[in-house]
Structure 1
Amino acid sequence: MISSDIYGKNPAVKELQEIIQCSLSEIEEPLIGDLSYFSENARYEPNSLQIVSITQTDKNQYSMSYRYKWTIFNGCLDINADEFTTQNVTFMVKPEGLEFDIIDTSRGSTADEL
């Protein structure tokens, strides 16, 4: 949740983008999630998260497209490979702020599998 005083307002997409941009550090980690599904060696490149677009999907619901850079070290070739990933997340505009519907991408433990 990004807290914002938008009670009784119907913010424009540009205003929503400004609110989110100012608070990216609050939601950066959950938006990026666990990169181990790419590789155990995948690492997020700090401060590379960018908002690509925001579109309204319903009265108070929006979809945000964002991208970020991550790197992976290839020990066999002794090089780092840079990759960009674009993903989407939905969020609701509520009186107390913006509530994001973030999917948990963390890898389960062996105990979870049992």
Structure 2
Amino acid sequence: MAEPRERRDWSWVWQWIRPWQTVTAGAVAVLPLFNGWSLATGWARALHAMRDDTIGGAYTTAVMALALTYALDLRRRRWLLRLALITTAIGSLGVLDWFDPITFVTGVHR
């Protein structure tokens, strides 16, 4: 007869997610509070505008901002840092363009 497996401790996931902070910070990050712009769409627009100068710089800025906010949020458990993490995570999608994977693989530009 097989012995039952030990139950895993998943309490660390609940502690990292911090549901109330995540939900409220997520709502603030996507609410259009600034003349129809939210924090996330403002960051997305800034990154997309940065693509006009340099695509690599825009991707680097998005990745570095996301890594910095993730590291700060992991280290300090503050609502403002969770807001920054959600804003950069959603806003970093503004750097993406559908043609970038084709350019990356083939080197062909539009």
Q: Same fold, TM exceeding 0.5?
A: no
Q: Given the two structures, how large is their TM-score scaled by the length of structure 2?
A: 0.31
Higher Cα radius of gyration: 2
The structure with the greater share of residues assigned to helix is 2
Q: Given the two structures, how large is their TM-score scaled by the length of structure 1?
A: 0.30
